[in-house]
A and B are shown apart, each in its own frame.
Chain A
Amino acid sequence: MEHDLVQPTMEAIRRWSGVECPNPAARLGLADMAGLIADMAKLRGTMVFEDEPSSFELALRDCKEPGK
């Protein structure tokens, strides 16, 4: 039986993005999203208020080999 996530997600994508579900494989892919939602739920609370994307380039420099 298809996951109950699939139909409302297809409708949301159509309304928000104007993209129609292209094929059965895409429906299967959407069902897989349940796993991703569960994985993201496990990470709730880990993001710090001040975290921001630009910290990545800084981290690249900060994590270089010692002395380099």
Chain B
Amino acid sequence: MSDLAELSMTEAADAFARGEVKAEALARACLARIDAHNAKLNVTVRLDREAALDAASAADHARAIGINAGKLGGVPMMHKDMYYRKGKVSTCGSKIRKNFVADKTATVLLKLDAAGAIDMGTLNMAEFAQNPTGHNAHYGHCHNPWNLDYCTGGSSSGSGSGVAGRLFYAALGSDTGGSIRLPASICGVTGLKATQTRVSRHGVMPLSFSADNVGPLVRTAKDAARFLAITAGHDPHDATSAPEPVPDYEAALTGDIRGMRIAVCSTYFLDGADAPVLAAFEAALQVLKDRGATVDYVAAPSMPAIATYVSVLSRVEGAAIHANWMRDVPQDYAIHLNARLFGGYAMPGHYYVEALARRGPLLKQFVAETLTGYDLVATPTVKTRVPTLAETDIDENPANWSRFMAVSANTRPFNYLGLPTISIPCGFDDRGLPVGLQLAGRPFAESTVLKASDAYQRATDWHRRSPLM
């Protein structure tokens, strides 16, 4: 194989399983990319180089004596620096936790370990996962591999930039308002937020316990299907994790979406969208239609309420979690973060209860409006063209606030609704930055979301394009 770093996660895993490539070769290919490009992208926080090579060597030895390595056997990954591993520092992208040593290991990491994945270390992220652009005042901003002046999207900035830059095959992100889907869209990779409660959050830094989600940034829908099958399911350590059975998501990827019905909300998600984004979105819908899906525009009168309540929910929960540090060491937060948290203390308690209490009824209303008679809702992941780091830097200029918050306008509602939602690459804007297509399904309908995404990727090559760094 000529360029191992260009393989997708499943291609790398399957090649290892067939004996066509050694795990050590995969790890060395990734390390070579990291050595060549990390100084520009600022993706890694902790690189466990020798441990990764040792693990790869062990995987090769195990395979040589006939031990099944698992469905992710030999595949190097790195993860957002908020997944705890016992005995290791997890900074959460913050100065406050720069020396925090975890006393437990996240369930999702244990599941990836058991599947044979090789953990090479941790990744840059927005401080405490609390911004949609990827700025980080403490460890340096992460940079977009398509153009270093542009933001990566956040909060899983290192995950998006590193997967797009071919520095590793997959990365965990987290998604409370779009933090998987935004860097996926903005860096040109595939990012999946599953149904709320689908994946255990045990051993994961909290942000907003009502809306936090664990999920992957990878190259393809097939990668996301395998990753989710390994990580989903009830966890006795997370009482909120769903008992729903975990299907074989990869088996659903037939490429056949004839008869699938897709709804596009005629308001909110397209309001104020930039022309290059709309053009890419409409072209993506045409691809889905060409493969046999039908697309209709529908009204979603519940959207103003959903957009309002989601703002209340995450800000109040974030403010509560950070109250001690906001009192004791506010200067240790970046300007944009303590500014954002501060407003959460102004919210009346009854606003918060109302936002929680209306969540179930509004989910039912949204499903009735958009998913009755339809399988999926489609939107652009980000309405606007990708902004530069300077255009969204609040620490430098507080007037950038509205541009900063606009980045996540189309992703946040699906955290309130708890619906499974993916972002897949669907083109580039007029400045050469990626555009993402967002697809959402009914609760626990990840198979449908992944099936449509895979069918789209069989007909396009946006997800195969690699930035020229």
A binds B: yes
Q: What residues of chain A have their CB less than 8 Å away from a CB belonging to chain B?
A: 9, 12-13, 16-26, 28-30, 32-33, 36, 39-40, 42-43, 46-48, 51-65, 68
| Contacts A/B (CB < 8 Å), 25 sampled | A13-B345, A17-B326, A18-B327, A22-B333, A22-B335, A24-B398, A25-B339, A26-B338, A26-B339, A26-B343, A29-B340, A29-B401, A36-B308, A46-B305, A47-B354, A47-B357, A51-B357, A53-B359, A53-B360, A56-B418, A59-B361, A59-B443, A60-B242, A60-B444, A63-B371
Q: Which residues of B contact A26 (CB under 8 A)?
A: 338-339, 342-343
Q: Which of B312, B346, B351, B356 has the largest number of chain A CB atoms within 10 A?
A: B346
A55 touches B357 (CB 8 A): yes
A29 touches B339 (CB 8 A): yes
A-contact 0/1 string along B343-358, CB 8 Å cutoff: 1011000010110111
- Asked whether B77 is an interface residue with its Cβ less than 8 Å from the other chain, the reply is no
The DSSP consensus for interface residues of chain B is helix
9 A-B pairs closest in CB distance = A55-B360, A25-B339, A59-B360, A25-B398, A53-B356, A26-B339, A51-B357, A26-B342, A39-B308
Given known contacts A24-B398, A36-B312, A43-B308, is B443 in contact with A63 (CB within 8 Å)?
Answer: yes
- Asked whether B381 is an interface residue with its Cβ less than 8 Å from the other chain, the reply is no
- Asked whether B294 is an interface residue with its Cβ less than 8 Å from the other chain, the reply is no
Q: Which residues of B contact A22 (CB under 8 A)?
A: 326, 330-331, 333, 335, 338-339, 342
B363 touches A59 (CB 8 A): yes
Q: Which of A9, A42, A55, A60 contacts B361 (CB 8 A)?
A: A55
A21 touches B360 (CB 8 A): no
- Asked whether B323 is an interface residue with its Cβ less than 8 Å from the other chain, the reply is yes
Q: Which residues of A contact B312 (CB under 8 A)?
A: 36, 40
- What is the CB-to-nearest-CB distance from B180 to chain A, in angstroms, rounded to a whole number? 19
- What is the CB-to-nearest-CB distance from A10 to chain B, in angstroms, rounded to a whole number? 9
The DSSP consensus for interface residues of chain A is helix
- Asked whether B166 is an interface residue with its Cβ less than 8 Å from the other chain, the reply is no
B333 touches A56 (CB 8 A): no
A17 touches B445 (CB 8 A): no
Taken together as a complex, chains A and B put the C-alpha atoms of A23 and B442 apart, in Å, by 42
B342 touches A21 (CB 8 A): yes
Q: Which residues of A contact B445 (CB under 8 A)?
A: 64-65, 68
Q: Which residues of B contact A36 (CB under 8 A)?
A: 308, 311-312
Task: Report the nearest B residue to A63, measured CB to CB.
Answer: B367
Q: Which residues of A contact B357 (CB under 8 A)?
A: 47, 51-53, 55
Chain B stretch 175-214: residues in CB contact (< 8 A) with chain A: 195-197
Taken together as a complex, chains A and B put the C-alpha atoms of A51 and B364 apart, in Å, by 13
- What is the CB-to-nearest-CB distance from A3 to chain B, in angstroms, rounded to a whole number? 12
Q: Which of B305, B311, B331, B336 contacts A25 (CB 8 A)?
A: B336
Q: Which residues of A contact B336 (CB under 8 A)?
A: 25
Taken together as a complex, chains A and B put the C-alpha atoms of A68 and B367 apart, in Å, by 15
Q: Which of A12, A23, A33 has the largest number of chain B CB atoms within 10 A?
A: A23
Given known contacts A12-B346, A53-B359, is B448 in contact with A28 (CB within 8 Å)?
Answer: no
Q: Which of B340, B394, B442 contacts A64 (CB 8 A)?
A: B442
B356 touches A23 (CB 8 A): no
Taken together as a complex, chains A and B put the C-alpha atoms of A17 and B131 apart, in Å, by 23
B339 touches A33 (CB 8 A): no
- Asked whether B304 is an interface residue with its Cβ less than 8 Å from the other chain, the reply is yes
Taken together as a complex, chains A and B put the C-alpha atoms of A28 and B299 apart, in Å, by 33
Taken together as a complex, chains A and B put the C-alpha atoms of A29 and B371 apart, in Å, by 35
Q: Which residues of A contact B308 (CB under 8 A)?
A: 36, 39-40, 42-43
Q: A36-B308, A59-B361 are in contact. List 17 more A-B contacts (CB 8 A).
A: A17-B327, A19-B326, A19-B330, A19-B342, A19-B345, A22-B326, A22-B331, A22-B333, A25-B398, A29-B342, A33-B343, A33-B346, A40-B351, A55-B357, A60-B195, A63-B442, A65-B448
Given known contacts A23-B335, A64-B443, is B343 in contact with A32 (CB within 8 Å)?
Answer: yes
Taken together as a complex, chains A and B put the C-alpha atoms of A61 and B442 apart, in Å, by 10
A-contact 0/1 string along B439-453, CB 8 Å cutoff: 001111100100000
Chain B stretch 287-328: residues in CB contact (< 8 A) with chain A: 304-305, 307-309, 311-312, 323, 326-327
Task: Report the nearest A residue to B448, measured CB to CB.
Answer: A65
Taken together as a complex, chains A and B put the C-alpha atoms of A59 and B342 apart, in Å, by 32
Given known contacts A51-B361, A64-B445, is B418 in contact with A28 (CB within 8 Å)?
Answer: no
Q: Which residues of A contact B398 (CB under 8 A)?
A: 23-25, 28
Q: Which of B197, B330, B343, B394 contacts A30 (CB 8 A)?
A: B343
Given known contacts A23-B339, A62-B364, A68-B445, is B358 in contact with A51 (CB within 8 Å)?
Answer: yes
Q: Which residues of B contact A52 (CB under 8 A)?
A: 357
Q: Which residues of B contact A51 (CB under 8 A)?
A: 357-358, 360-361
A39 touches B394 (CB 8 A): no
Q: Which residues of B contact A68 (CB under 8 A)?
A: 444-445
Q: Which residues of A contact B394 (CB under 8 A)?
A: 25
